[in-house]
C-alpha cells in the first residue's frame, strides 16, 4: 500500500496482513448490519434504568417531527443507517467474491462512516444535557439542508401540495425546537455542525485505529466525497489489488462503527449484544435474500424499551 493511502493503514502491508484486516472488516460489517434489526436489534435498543439513553427515551417527544432532536433516536437511526450500508458492502463483496471494489464500495463506506460519526458526536459527552445540545446542532444542520430542497421545490409545481407542506412543516418545527434547546443551554440558536466539522470533532476517538489520525480521516472523507460525486480525479488514486482496495476503503469506517457501537452500549448501560462480533459469529445470508432485506426503519418491529419509538 502506498504512503498516501487514504485510510492511514500502516504501509506497506503484507498479503497476510491485508487478508487478516479484510476478514475482520467483513465480519464486523456483517455483524453491525444485523445488530440494528430483530432479533439482535430488540436487545440492542434496550437501556438500563437511569442510563443516559433511558433518560432520553423517557423524554421522547410526542410530535414525530421532533424525534430527530432526541439523542437516543438520532444516535440509533445513525447507527442503523451506518450498519445497513456496511452490511450491503460486505454482502456485495461476498456475493461477487470481491469483484465489486473501490468506487461503489467507497460510496457505501462514506455513508457508513458519516452515520457512525454522527452517533459518536452525540454520545461522546457523558452529560445528557450536552448530548441534547449536540443532537440539536445536528438537527439544525438537517433543517438547513432540507431548506435548500424547499427553496428549490418552491418553484417546482409538480411537488407542491402534501409532500412540500409536510417537509416544510417538519423543517420549521425542527429548527424552532433546536433553537430553543440551544438557547436554553446558552448556545447560539443557529449553531450547527457540517460534515467536515463533525469529522474533525470526532476523529480523535479512533486514534488507536489509525497511524495518522490528524490527517487520515479528513483525507479519506475528501477522497470518498469525490468518489460519491463521480469526480474523475479520484481515478488517479486507486489501488492495484482487490484485497488492498477493500482494506483501504473500509478501514476507517470500521473504526468509527466500532467506536459508535461501543459508546451506544456504554450510554445505555448494557453490553448485550456486545459491540463487536463474538467468537464464532457468522453472517446470516438469508437476512438479505435475493433482494435487499427488510429495513428496520421502514418496517418497525417490536418497540419494547423505546415506548412508541418506531426507529
Number of H helices, E strands in the chain: 10, 0
Q: Which residue has cell 464500495?
A: 105
Q: What is the pLDDT of residues 233-253, one digit of tens each?
A: 888 776 667 788 898 899 999
* Burial (0-12, 13-18, 19+ Cβ within 10 Å), 168: middle
Closest C-alpha among 279, 309, 275, 261 to residue 79: 261
Is pLDDT at 7 greater than 60 in this prediction? no
Beta carbons of 178 and 143 less than 8 angstroms apart: yes
Give me the long-range contacts of 206-213 (CB less than 8 A, separation at least 24): 206/252, 206/255, 206/256, 206/258, 206/259, 209/251, 209/252, 209/255, 209/258, 209/259, 210/7, 210/8, 210/9, 210/252, 210/255, 211/8, 211/9, 211/10, 212/8, 213/8
The x, y and z cell numbers of residue 276, run together, are: 463487536
Mean pLDDT computed over 148-163: 70
Total residue count of the chain as it appears in this document: 311
For residue 121, how many C-alpha atoms fall within 13 Å in the half-sphere facing its CB? 27
Give 157's contacts (C-beta < 8 A, 6+ positions apart).
Answer: none
Q: What pLDDT is stored for residue 70 in this prediction?
A: 95
Beta carbons of 203 and 218 less than 8 angstroms apart: yes
Q: What is the pLDDT of residues 293-309, one digit of tens each?
A: 444 333 333 333 344 55
Could you give the CA distance from residue 165 to residue 141 in angstroms, rounded to a whole number? 20
Q: What does the domain layout of the chain look like in residue ranges?
A: 22-287
Is pLDDT at 135 greater than 80 in this prediction? yes
What global pTM score does this model have? Answer: 0.85
Could you give the CA distance from residue 98 to residue 112 in angstroms, rounded to a whole number? 19
Local structure of residue 278 (DSSP, 8 states): P
Q: What is the pLDDT of residues 164-207, one digit of tens each?
A: 777 788 888 888 999 999 999 999 999 999 999 999 999 999 87
Q: What is the pLDDT of residues 119-130, one digit of tens each?
A: 999 999 999 999
Q: What is the pLDDT of residues 48-65, one digit of tens each?
A: 999 999 999 999 887 777
Mean pLDDT computed over 72-91: 95
The x, y and z cell numbers of residue 89, run together, are: 458492502
3-class DSSP assignment, residue 276: coil
Q: What percent of the chain is predicted at pLDDT more than 70?
A: 83
Cα dist from 257 to 30, 137, 149, 196, whole Å = 12, 21, 29, 17
Mean pLDDT computed over 18-41: 92
Least confident of 13-17, 44-48, 72-76, 157-161: 157-161
Beta carbons of 56 and 305 less than 8 angstroms apart: no
Mean pLDDT computed over 223-236: 88
Give 146's contacts (C-beta < 8 A, 6+ positions apart).
Answer: 167, 170, 171
Q: What pLDDT is stored for residue 240 in this prediction?
A: 66
Amino acid at each position: 500500500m502506498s504512503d498516501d493511502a487514504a485510510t492511514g493503514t500502516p504501509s506497506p502491508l503484507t498479503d497476510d496482513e491485508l487478508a487478516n484486516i479484510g476478514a475482520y472488516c467483513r465480519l464486523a460489517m456483517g455483524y453491525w448490519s444485523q445488530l440494528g434489526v430483530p432479533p439482535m436489534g430488540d436487545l440492542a435498543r434496550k437501556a438500563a434504568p437511569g442510563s443516559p439513553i433511558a433518560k432520553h427515551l423517557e423524554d421522547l417527544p410526542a410530535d414525530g417531527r421532533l424525534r430527530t432532536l432526541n439523542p437516543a433516536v438520532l444516535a440509533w437511526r445513525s447507527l442503523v443507517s451506518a450498519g445497513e450500508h456496511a452490511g450491503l458492502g460486505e454482502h456485495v463483496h461476498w456475493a461477487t467474491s470481491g469483484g465489486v471494489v473501490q468506487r461503489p464500495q467507497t460510496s457505501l463506506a462514506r455513508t457508513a462512516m458519516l452515520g457512525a460519526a454522527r452517533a459518536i458526536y452525540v454520545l461522546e459527552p457523558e452529560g445528557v444535557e450536552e448530548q441534547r445540545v449536540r443532537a440539536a446542532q445536528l438537527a439544525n444542520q438537517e433543517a438547513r439542508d432540507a431548506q435548500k430542497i424547499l427553496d428549490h421545490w418552491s418553484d417546482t409545481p409538480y411537488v407542491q401540495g402534501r409532500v412540500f407542506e409536510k417537509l416544510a412543516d417538519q423543517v420549521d418545527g425542527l429548527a424552532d425546537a433546536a433553537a430553543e434547546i440551544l438557547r436554553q443551554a446558552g448556545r447560539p440558536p443557529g449553531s450547527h455542525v457540517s460534515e467536515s466539522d463533525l469529522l474533525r470533532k470526532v476523529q480523535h476517538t479512533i486514534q488507536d485505529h489509525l497511524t495518522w489520525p490528524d490527517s487520515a480521516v479528513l483525507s479519506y472523507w475528501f477522497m470518498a466525497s469525490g468518489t460519491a460525486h463521480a469526480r474523475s480525479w479520484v481515478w488517479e488514486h486507486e489501488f492495484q489489488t482487490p484485497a488492498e482496495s477493500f482494506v483501504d476503503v473500509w478501514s476507517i469506517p470500521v473504526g468509527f462503527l466500532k467506536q459508535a457501537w461501543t459508546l451506544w452500549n456504554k450510554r445505555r448501560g448494557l453490553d448485550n449484544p456486545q459491540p463487536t462480533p463474538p467468537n464464532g459469529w457468522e453472517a446470516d445470508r438469508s437476512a438479505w435474500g435475493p433482494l435487499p432485506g427488510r429495513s428496520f426503519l421502514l418496517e418497525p418491529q417490536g418497540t419494547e424499551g423505546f415506548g412508541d419509538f418506531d426507529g
